[in-house]
Structure 1
């Protein structure tokens, strides 16, 4: 008879068919395994035994090198240790081709099998508690450059890792389309949020279906709107699963992409739904190479097939030259920009049925979410739209005409630098 502590703890589990609820277990847990890959064992995984102390662990006798950055990858529901069935080991290959890393996979597949989603959600606590023990051993070895990457339900596990760490805060967590079912009403202690690490970046690809719509990190990137992904249609294609797993495909490509995934800021998802977040010259990169200081909500467009990255839209040949920056007065607008999107056919306009009205001489968005600074002499070599510097209006009354509701410059600051606001339908905050 097996009388080990793990076996005794397993007797408290609740088991219904193939589904198992881990109750009162301690770490290390035999159902949660860790495998490491480095450039010394690219193809042959090495099992890590992590215990309560460094002496009882085999970390120091493994291929682990504390001088190299560590990537901890956590899979989701109904998967093996790799993040996505469609990408079995490519994440490992991309990282090790890029540089020297300690690539550690957390395998908690025994506690997250299909069709046991409810029990898998419960078991994220156990997976997180034991993975926190792994992080503690890494820190004891002198390794603090730790980046946790989780997909779907695995993106909720880092929350419990952070809650179980005593004297160390994770430097970075990346959530790839964090799971939504059973996390809609969860509190901050039970879901991924910005307090879990110094920097939390999130990619949304299947929001409101399998992934969350609300913002989960310091910066949230909504890929192609964050709900459905291009190319995920047609016969024999599960559109939801395809869109959900695109998060791993996008992030994988971002590791060594020559173009990169670049997005523009948007104040809230409500503004995006109203079409009030057109592409701007303020672009920031998503994925592995995201800057740690990035904050806010960003929108990114992609190709429908690999390679998905489009690069910077400002690098397109037709957009690579600046327009002359000449001072222009704000024109009178005969069409409200918001009504332009609500009533695209103009049936609510006063000039419908050919009634005379003031002629529209410019585009609705012109001078509405942008401004015309005074003329500044430029060098002939300065031809990149991304290098344009913002300057103030020549006259203060222009600001009042531009946005009479609140301070325009505070609004623009929130638009470009982003605000941390989990209410996706909230209006921009102006301090």
Structure 2
């Protein structure tokens, strides 16, 4: 490499390093491991809780307390805007509930083998916290709902498989995916064996590798979402936009309550669009999803908030991704 190219390359790397430190002032070190926080009134009242007997003893839990565990995605933390918005929405929708935030930012790495190993560590620690809540406090597993986005969705499946007290009440996987490549073994996926009820929402190609849950929702076919193709950016950016639409839909569903995001049971998006699917069974995505109505469900959304639309199938179903 010539001296000029070396100087340019060094300058670019230095600027990139400064940018990383500015954007991520607490760069992952791996030393902190997994952190847990709990909220009872809003995201602003978060308090740290340890996955120990002494830690769970501090949680305000009763046999009727609804507990929602939220697991963020790859390269994120529990301070992401969608996590905060979802926390506040859950606490309003379910008065008296407790939201537990799983924060694994300090274990994020660009190494796929290490990240997969860290995902198992995150799941082990989170499963330990849940088992301690059930064993040491009067909490029912049926009242525990784990919500995971992206890599957090995959981790939620690992959590369900590692809880020893019994099956979790519900897991909601929001476009569950691993970074880079899909898992190599079945145990790495989120699937219907991981909780009493597993609900998935698919919004991008990143979330297409998971096997079915009990109830699978596909927004706009589960691929590119309306409103994401206006970015004038490469297809990868459109996929990222579509990927994050999953959390936006979840927040809206919790905020607006029952009756939003009506979906038609249909084996394939094509049948939903061309009207060959009779659409005689309807379910709604969100906290009010009918747990007894299983299968694959399709719905369309608006290109911007509010995303929920009245149920239409057949000739009026397809919403152009513009």
TM-score by length of 2: 0.78
**Structure 1 residues 42 and 184: CA distance shift in structure 2, 3 A:** closer
Task: Give 1:312 deviation, angstroms.
Answer: 3.7
Per-residue CA deviation, residues 96-116 of structure 1 (Å, 9 max, x unaligned), is: 112221000001111124x44
Greater RCO (Cα-Cα under 8 Å, separation 6 or more): 2
Distance 2:144 2:59 in 1: 17
Among 159, 162, 172, the residue aligned to 1:161:
159
Please say if residues 202 and 219 of structure 1, whose CA atoms lie closer than 8 Å, have aligned partners that are also in contact: yes
Task: Give 1:288 deviation, angstroms.
Answer: 1.9
Q: Secondary structure at the match of 1:168?
A: coil
Give runs of aligned pairs for residues 213-252 of structure 1, distance below 5 A: 213-235=209-231, 238-252=237-251
Distance 2:299 2:178 in 1: 21
Please say if residues 174 and 200 of structure 2, whose CA atoms lie closer than 8 Å, have aligned partners that are also in contact: yes
2:39 pairs with 1:44:
no
Task: Give 1:168 deviation, angstroms.
Answer: 1.4
Task: Give 1:158 deviation, angstroms.
Answer: 2.0
Q: Secondary structure at the match of 1:255?
A: helix
Distance 1:249 1:192 in 2: 21
Give runs of aligned pairs for residues 5-404 of structure 1, distance below 5 A: 30-39=32-41, 43-51=44-52, 54=53, 57-82=54-79, 85-98=80-93, 99-113=95-109, 115-140=110-135, 141-144=137-140, 145-181=143-179, 184=182, 186-207=184-205, 210-235=206-231, 238-257=237-256, 259-268=259-268, 272=271, 275=274, 277-278=276-277, 280-313=279-312
CA RMSD of aligned residues (A): 2.6
Aligned residue pairs: how many? 279
Distance 1:295 1:183 in 2: 28
Distance 2:161 2:243 in 1: 27
Distance 2:125 2:307 in 1: 35
Question: Structure 2: which 5+ residue stretches go unaligned?
Answer: 1-26, 314-322
Please say if residues 183 and 191 of structure 1, whose CA atoms lie closer than 8 Å, have aligned partners that are also in contact: no
Please say if residues 173 and 200 of structure 1, whose CA atoms lie closer than 8 Å, have aligned partners that are also in contact: yes
**Structure 1 residues 277 and 202: CA distance shift in structure 2, 3 A:** farther
Per-residue CA deviation, residues 299-322 of structure 1 (Å, 9 max, x unaligned), is: 1111111010113449xxxxxxxx
Please say if residues 36 and 64 of structure 1, whose CA atoms lie closer than 8 Å, have aligned partners that are also in contact: no
Please say if residues 199 and 215 of structure 2, whose CA atoms lie closer than 8 Å, have aligned partners that are also in contact: yes
Task: Give 1:229 deviation, angstroms.
Answer: 0.4
Distance 2:276 2:219 in 1: 14
Distance 1:189 1:146 in 2: 21
Please say if residues 215 and 295 of structure 2, whose CA atoms lie closer than 8 Å, have aligned partners that are also in contact: yes
Distance 2:190 2:43 in 1: 31
Distance 1:48 1:281 in 2: 46
Q: Secondary structure at the match of 1:254?
A: helix
Task: Give 1:163 deviation, angstroms.
Answer: 2.6
Distance 1:180 1:279 in 2: 34
TM-score by length of 1: 0.59
**Structure 1 residues 239 and 183: CA distance shift in structure 2, 3 A:** closer
Please say if residues 32 and 127 of structure 1, whose CA atoms lie closer than 8 Å, have aligned partners that are also in contact: yes
**Structure 1 residues 116 and 184: CA distance shift in structure 2, 3 A:** closer
Q: Could you tell which deviates more after superposition, 164-173 or 140-149?
A: 164-173
Task: Give 1:286 deviation, angstroms.
Answer: 1.2
Question: Structure 1: which 5+ residue stretches go unaligned?
Answer: 1-17, 23-28, 315-431
**Structure 1 residues 224 and 175: CA distance shift in structure 2, 3 A:** same
